[in-house]
Structures are given as structure tokens and as C-alpha cells.
Amino acid sequence: MTPRRAFLKTVGAGLVAAPFATSCVSRPLPPDPIKPIRGSWISVWWDDRRHFYWNDACLQFSAEQWQAAIKDVADIGMEYLVLLAIAKGGKAFYDTPLLPKLEMACPDPIEAMLAAADRYRVKFFISSDWYGEWDAAALSDPDRARKRFQMMEEIAGRYSHHPSFHGWYWPNEACLAPSFADAFVAYVNASSREARRLTPNAKTLTAPYGTHRAVCDDTFVRQLEGLDVDVIAYQDEVGCLRMTPDESARAFAALRRAHDRVPQRALWADVETFAWEGPPNKQTSPLIPAQWERVRAQLEAVSPHVDTILIYQYQGLMNRPRSRAFAGHPDSTRLYLDYVRWLRSGGKRDAG
């Protein structure tokens, strides 16, 4: 008898001997369809007021606090983090001859996060940009592409030895209107070729918006076939008020049908866990935590259709009470506790 078969026989005997075990095994409860959150975006700094509630705190984080931030997400079952940017506002978050360095308390927050991710078995997708501001030239300008690739080479040289360096994130995100622009496809494919040269085993991810406009027809499927990326985490756009959870469910059902025809492109969700303190969709309006009831409805909407759920984002919008890495809105502890209560309930619809 193989060790595996012996183990299964032992476990089975134990179940039969346990009180009520036979009835439990013969009438199993159906699994709840709501998937948990498996990852989040995370930032070092962002140069507008949307990150108002956590920008200054994160700039003052020590290496130990960045490491605590990674532990906090790992402790509630998150497996992936996506670094939003490696530079912003003309300043880099690591040492590079291309840009001046952002003034921060921690000399190398990327190193601190990856070292902690190694320890807590979190997988990072690392951004390839922002050398400059997003504009039409961000995708197609040859000089911008050269600088992007130079930054990628620097990032790979400094950090790809970490086991947690799981892949790359292409942050110049597409707007589906109703499908991908040719310039975006070319940008992703060129970036993925460079990623394979630098880090042959790394995965690649992008997160398009305009999900409410997507038309998942034969043209869209052909684009998926030609888009060289491993994971597409579509934004659910509920936080941006472009869809309700019910509309999100229909949009992701259509995306699922398209991705089933191109299974090499994993279908993930980027669920927006934010609301707005001021006017929606304005760079001057701070993000605040959404109510758990809405977030739970968002998770339920996408769960039947996607492989994995990421959120935008844990940082600033969810905080473990008394965390060493607390950064964000005061209500972020409530969203955290509501989510953890739901997790502990086994993910029941009526929990929380």
C-alpha cells in the first residue's frame, strides 16, 4: 500500500469512528461560491490626493514597518501583491541614474517588502514604470520605451534574486473601448519580451479598465490570442461607479466565455474596495474604505467567473487594529474586521 493510500485509509477510518462523521460525509454541504481576496496592489507613494490618507505615513515607514505591512496581508491569506510603481512624479523609489530618488525614511522600501515577502511566502508582481507621466507617448515613444527597459534591467538586477519576485506588472493600463488598442497590445508584447530576456521564469500581469464597455466577440478573442501576458485582472469598476455588482457579474461572465477560448490568458478580477470622500473619479478626491456589504457583493459578483481575486487595495483601506504598519483612513479597521469576521465564518453570505 502506498503512503498516500495508507493515509487516506487512516483518515477515512477516523471519520467513520467520529460521532456523526458518517452523516456529514454522506451529505456534504455545497461549497459557498464567494472567493476570498488573494492579493492587493500596494504603493510606496502616489502624487495625487487619491492616496491622501496613507501617502505621508508610508513615506515615514521604516524597513521594519514595510515588512510588517507584508505580514499583515499574509496573515489574512493574501498570496499576491502588485507594486503599483517603481517611480512617480519624476522621482524613483530605488537608486537609479535615470531619476532623482524620492525622499523616504526607508532607504529601499522595495527591498524591505521583497525580503518580508520571501519570509511570508507572498508573491510580488513588480511594476515596470513610472519613468514619466502617463500620456499618449507612454506606450509608443521609443525613448520612453528605452528608459522603461533600462529601469526593468535595473530592477531585475537588484531584486529578481528574491523568491518572492514572481513577475512583472504592466501599469500603463488599457481602456477597453470596446477592445484593446493596437498600441497597448504592442506595448504589452514588447514589455513581455524584455521580461523574458531579463527574468525567463517570471509571470506577467496587467489590469485593464473600461470593463463595462468590453465586447467579448471574435475580435476580442483574437486580441487575447495575440496579447503576450499571463494574467489579465480586469477592474470591476464598482468603486469608480461605472458598474453595479450585478452589472459586474454580467461583464465578468462574458469575459469568462472569451477567456475559455484562450485559456493561456488567466482571468482575474481587480475588485475596487474604495469609495470617494469627495467627487468620484477625481484625482483631488481622497479614497476611503467602501462598506463591507458592497465589497462582499462585489466578491460574490466576480467569484463564479474568475480564477483569483485581487483588490485595489488593502493598503490605506484595510488595516489590522494596532498594526505597526497602520496607514490610512480611520474606517480602514472596520473594513478589515468585517472581512476577517467573514473569513472566519467560512465565507458565508450572511456573515459579517
How high is the mean pLDDT in each 10-residue block of the chain (352 residues)? 32 30 31 86 95 97 98 98 95 95 98 98 93 68 88 97 98 89 92 97 97 96 97 98 98 98 98 97 96 98 98 98 97 98 82 56
- What CATH number is attached to the domain comprising 130? 3.20.20.80
Tens of pLDDT along 97-128? 999 999 999 999 999 999 999 999 999 999 99
- Degrees (nearest 5) of the Cα angle 326, 67, 196? 120
13 located within any domain: no
Classify residue 230: in a domain, yes or no: yes
pLDDT on residue 131 = 67
User: Does 350 reside within a domain?
Assistant: no
Domain extent at residue 71: 32-344
pLDDT of residue 10: 31
Look at the chain and report how many structural domains it folds into: 1
Around Cβ 216, how many Cβ atoms within 10 Å? 20
Does 331 reside within a domain? Answer: yes
CA atoms of 316 and 218, how far apart (whole Å): 40
**pLDDT recorded at residue 145:** 86
Residue 19 lies in a domain: no
| The pLDDT value given to residue 343 | 95
Cα 109 from Cα 113, distance rounded (Å): 6
Are the C-beta atoms of residues 138 and 144 closer than 8 Å to each other? yes
The predicted pLDDT at position 4 comes to 30
Separation CA 290–CA 297 (nearest Å): 11
CA neighbours closer than 13 Å in the CB half-sphere of residue 336 = 24
Q: What is the pLDDT of residue 29?
A: 36
Q: Is position 244 within any domain?
A: yes
Predicted TM-score (pTM) above 0.85: yes
8 in a structural domain: no
* Residue 22 located in a structural domain: no
